[in-house]
Each structure stands twice: as structure tokens, then as C-alpha cells.
Amino acid sequence: MVEAKLYLFDDTEAEPKTVELDEHIFAAPVNTDLLYRAVRMQLLNRRQGTHSTKTRGEARGGGRKPWRQKGTGRARAGSRRSPLWVGGGTVFGPKPRSYEIKLPKKMKRAALASALSDRAGSGKIVLVDKAGFTAPKTKRAIELLSRLGMAASTLVVVSRSEYNLPVKKSFSNIPQVKCLATPGLNVYDILRHEGLVLTLGALEELKTRF
């Protein structure tokens, strides 16, 4: 049985309750191979792949033969764009391409469950009933994380309806803290942050996602 503490957003003096988490999501076997594959996929898919070099056909110059073929004592040369010359083209240099790779949906889901289970097994998941920011308040967000006993590096996940400008901006100025809506929850961000805060709305959306 996996449990997590539930805090109230508005009541700062209330004692936290203990809530049982879904074992299908938070007590799954931790598959390190799947975690590696998911993180590798995310990092590769972020690469723009815009690096480019010019071949001898694209380099500038070389419109005529530098000198005649025979009689000069120098080596034969047909173009100033030769890869042997300074300013010439590049042989087999990088060209724009896509680094995108894909994983089956079941593997993605299993990797996400592995990451969540790893954090739940370490006791690094905390629940809060809601994200009730009516205006951007970084100070209040810091006080909330401190009351929850979270580490400096924390990922805050809220439901779609809670992910608004006041909530997003309240956490955006805190170093090593990131706020996401439930659809954006991913393996890389979970593993990159030490703590994980979930609202009850985000928890319900996670159940439907699985």
C-alpha cells in the first residue's frame, strides 16, 4: 500500500491527512530500461537538427580553374571550392535532419508509472487539495512549498482547470521549481526534480490517463 500526505491549501494550521494512492499508478515495478528509453526519446525529440555545412557545390567561389592544367609546376586544381582548400566545401558534414524517435503508447505509459512509483516509494509525493491562487504570489508559493516540506527542486502538477496565469506565475520565479498541467506530465521532468506535488484534480486526471 502506497500513501501520501494531503494538505489543505487555505488552512495552514490543519494537520495533513493520509491518502492511499492508486497502486496501479504509484506502486508499479520500476523499470530502469523504460525510464532510460523515455528520457532519451524526450531529449532527442527536443533537438532542432538545424546544424548545417556547405558542400563543394554550395561553397562560395570556384567559378573558374585557378591555373592551367600543365606547365606551372603546381598540383592540378579544378576549383577553389575543393575540400582540400581553405574556404572550400566540407566532405560528409552535418546537414539538417530530424532526430525524432518514437515509443509505443504502452511503453510510454509504463515508463510514466515507473517514474511516479519511484517517487512514491521514496516518499517524495505530496498532495494538496487545490491550487487556489487568485493572483500571482511568489511569496505564497514559497510558503506553500515550505509547509509541504518539499525539497528545493520540486515539480508541481495541477489539473487543466487549475492551470491558469496566477498559478503558473506564482511558481515560475522560484529556482528549480516547475509547474505543469496534467497532460504535460512526463518522465524527464519527474526524474529531474526531487519532489512532486499533485493537486487532487491532477490526481483524478492521472487516473483517467491510465
Report phi then psi at 3, rounded to 5: -125, 160
Assess contact for 42 and 186: CB atoms under 8 A: yes
Topology given in CATH for the domain delimited by 3-30+104-209: Ribosomal Protein L4; Chain: A; (3.40.1370)
Assess contact for 101 and 174: CB atoms under 8 A: no
Residues facing 158 on adjacent strands: 181
Would the pTM of this model clear 0.75, i.e. be above it?
yes
Domain boundaries, the chain: 3-30+104-209
User: Average pLDDT for consecutive 10-residue bins of the chain (210 residues)?
Assistant: 89 86 93 97 96 94 91 94 94 96 95 96 92 92 92 92 93 94 96 95 91
Sign of CA dihedral 149, 208, 158, 31: positive
The pLDDT of residue 186 = 96
Query: Cell numbers of 1, please?
Result: 500500500
The pLDDT of residue 88 = 94
The pLDDT of residue 46 = 95
The pLDDT of residue 15 = 87
